C-alpha cells in the first residue's frame, strides 16, 4: 500500500462563512475553518476596511491556520488603465494589500491583481498592458523583500480582459520577469476559457503557485459537470504541492462589492458549514485517490 501523505495546504474562501471582515466575522470564519478541518483561510481584501489585522493574526496563529489573501481591483483603481491617475489608485490598493497580507502572517497575495473584476467594453490597450507589467514588477520586488509570492489568478472574459488563459498568464509573468510571480488556476474560470482542465496544468507546470477549486456554477463540488478527477490527476502529474482552496459563492452570504463584481445572484447553498465539510472531504478524497499507483 502506498503511504497516504499529502502536502498541499487545503484552504477555504472566507465568503463560505461570512460576508464581511469585521472582527466578529473574522473570528467566526477562523473557528469554522478550523472546525471543518481546513489548513488555510483565504481572506478577500476586496472590501476589508473593517479588518483588524493584528487581532486576526493572533486568532489565526492560535488556531494553527495559514492565511492567504486575494483581491481584484476596481474600474476607478485599475492598473490596466491607460490613465495614470487610475493606475496610481490601483497601485496604492495593491501595496496596501501586500502589507496587510504580510501583517496577517501570510505569504501569498493573489487574485485579479492586474485589473478590475468586471466586464470590460473593449480589449486591453497596449498602454494598459505596459502599466500592468510595470506596477506588478514593482509589487513583486516589494514582495521579495518580505518573502512573499504574488499569484496571477486567471479569470474569464466577463471578469477581465487582461489574462483569460494559462497561456496569457505565462506570457504576462514572463514580461513581469520576477521569480515570485506565480500562476493561479481556478477550475471555474478554466471551464469557460480553456480546452480542458488538464492541458493548462501541464503548460503551467512548476510555475503553478495557487489553485482555486470551484464548480462550474460555484456551488457544491460534484454537483456540476467539471471533471475534477482529471484535474487532480494533472496536479499529481506536475507534483503540485501548493495550496488548494475551495471557492464557492451563494446569495446566502454576501460581501457587498465582491458578490456584485462576481455576479452572485443565486442561492446555490444556504449552509456554509455543510458545504465546507463536504468540500474538504471531496478534495482530500481526490488527493488520496491520486496516491494509488
Catalytic residues: 153, 247
Give min distance, CB of 247 to Mn ion, in A: 5
Residue 11, φ and ψ in degrees, nearest 5 = -115, 170
Size of the site for Mn ion (CB under 5 A): 3
Q: Which of 139, 227, 236, 220 is nearest to 191 (CA)?
A: 227
Cell numbers linked to 52: 483588524
C-alpha cell at position 28: 467566526
Stretch that binds Mn ion, among 24-32, 169-177, 212-220, 231-239 (CB under 5 A): 212-220
Binding positions for Mn ion, 227-286, rule CB under 5 A: 247
Least Å distance between CB 186 and Mn ion?
4
Where is 93: in which H helix or E strand?
helix 84-103
Q: Does 194 bind Mn ion (CB under 5 A)?
A: no
Residue 154: C-alpha distances to residues 55, 168, 224, 264 (Å): 31, 8, 21, 19
Radius of gyration of the chain, Cα coordinates, nearest whole angstrom = 18
Residue 78 lies near Mn ion (rule: CB under 5 A): no
Q: Which stretch binds Mn ion (CB under 5 A): 74-82, 129-137, 138-146, 181-189?
A: 181-189
Q: Based on CB atoms, which residue is closest to Mn ion, 58 or 266?
A: 266
- Dihedral sign (CA 238, 244, 250, 255): negative
- Residue showing cell 513581469: 176
The answer to whether residue 186 forms part of the interface with Mn ion (CB under 5 A) is yes
Q: Exactly one of 46, 71, 89, 212 binds Mn ion (CB under 5 A); which one?
A: 212
Q: Looking at beta carbons only, is 129 or 212 nearer to Mn ion? A: 212
3-state secondary structure of 244: strand
Quick one: CA dihedral 198, 202, 207, 209, positive or negative?
positive
Task: Candidates 142-150, 162-170, 211-219, 267-275: pick the segment binding Mn ion (CB under 5 A).
Answer: 211-219
* Residue 39 binds Mn ion (CB under 5 A): no
**Site track 5-34 with Mn ion (rule: CB under 5 A), x = hit:** ------------------------------
- Which among 245, 258, 244, 248 has a CA at the least distance from the CA of 220? 248
Enumerate residues 113-142 that contact Mn ion by CB under 5 A.
none
Binding site for Mn ion (CB under 5 A): 186, 212, 247
Amino acid at each position: 500500500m502506498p503511504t497516504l501523505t499529502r502536502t498541499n495546504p487545503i484552504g477555504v474562501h472566507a465568503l463560505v462563512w461570512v460576508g464581511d471582515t469585521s472582527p466578529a466575522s473574522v473570528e467566526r470564519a477562523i473557528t469554522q475553518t478550523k472546525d471543518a478541518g481546513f489548513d488555510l483561510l483565504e481572506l478577500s481584501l476586496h472590501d476589508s476596511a473593517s479588518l483588524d489585522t493584528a487581532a486576526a493574526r493572533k486568532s489565526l496563529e492560535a488556531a494553527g491556520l495559514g492565511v492567504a489573501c486575494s483581491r481584484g481591483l476596481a474600474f476607478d483603481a485599475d492598473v490596466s488603465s491607460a490613465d495614470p491617475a487610475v493606475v496610481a489608485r490601483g497601485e496604492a490598493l495593491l501595496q496596501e494589500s501586500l502589507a496587510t497580507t504580510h501583517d496577517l502572517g501570510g505569504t501569498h497575495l493573489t487574485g485579479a491583481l492586474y485589473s478590475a473584476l468586471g466586464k470590460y467594453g473593449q480589449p486591453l490597450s497596449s498602454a494598459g498592458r505596459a502599466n500592468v507589467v510595470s506596477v506588478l514588477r514593482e509589487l513583486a520586488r516589494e514582495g521579495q523583500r518580505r518573502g512573499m509570492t504574488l499569484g496571477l489568478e486567471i479569470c474569464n472574459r466577463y471578469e477581465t480582459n487582461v489574462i483569460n488563459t494559462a497561456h496569457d498568464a505565462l506570457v504576462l509573468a514572463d514580461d513581469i520577469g520576477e521569480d515570485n510571480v506565480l500562476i493561479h488556476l481556478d477550475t471555474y474560470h478554466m471551464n469557460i476559457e480553456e480546452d480542458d482542465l488538464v492541458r493548462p496544468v501541464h503548460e503551467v507546470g512548476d510555475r503553478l503557485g495557487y489553485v482555486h477549486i470551484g464548480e462550474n456554477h460555484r456551488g457544491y463540488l460534484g454537483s456540476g459537470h467539471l471533471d475534477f478527477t482529471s484535474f487532480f490527476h494533472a496536479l499529481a502529474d506536475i507534483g503540485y504541492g501548493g495550496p488548494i482552496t475551495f471557492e464557492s459563492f451563494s446569495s446566502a452570504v454576501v460581501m457587498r462589492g465582491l458578490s456584485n463584481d462576481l455576479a452572485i445572484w443565486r442561492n446555490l447553498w444556504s449552509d456554509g458549514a455543510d458545504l465546507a465539510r463536504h468540500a474538504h472531504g471531496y478534495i482530500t478524497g481526490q488527493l488520496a485517490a491520486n496516491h494509488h499507483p
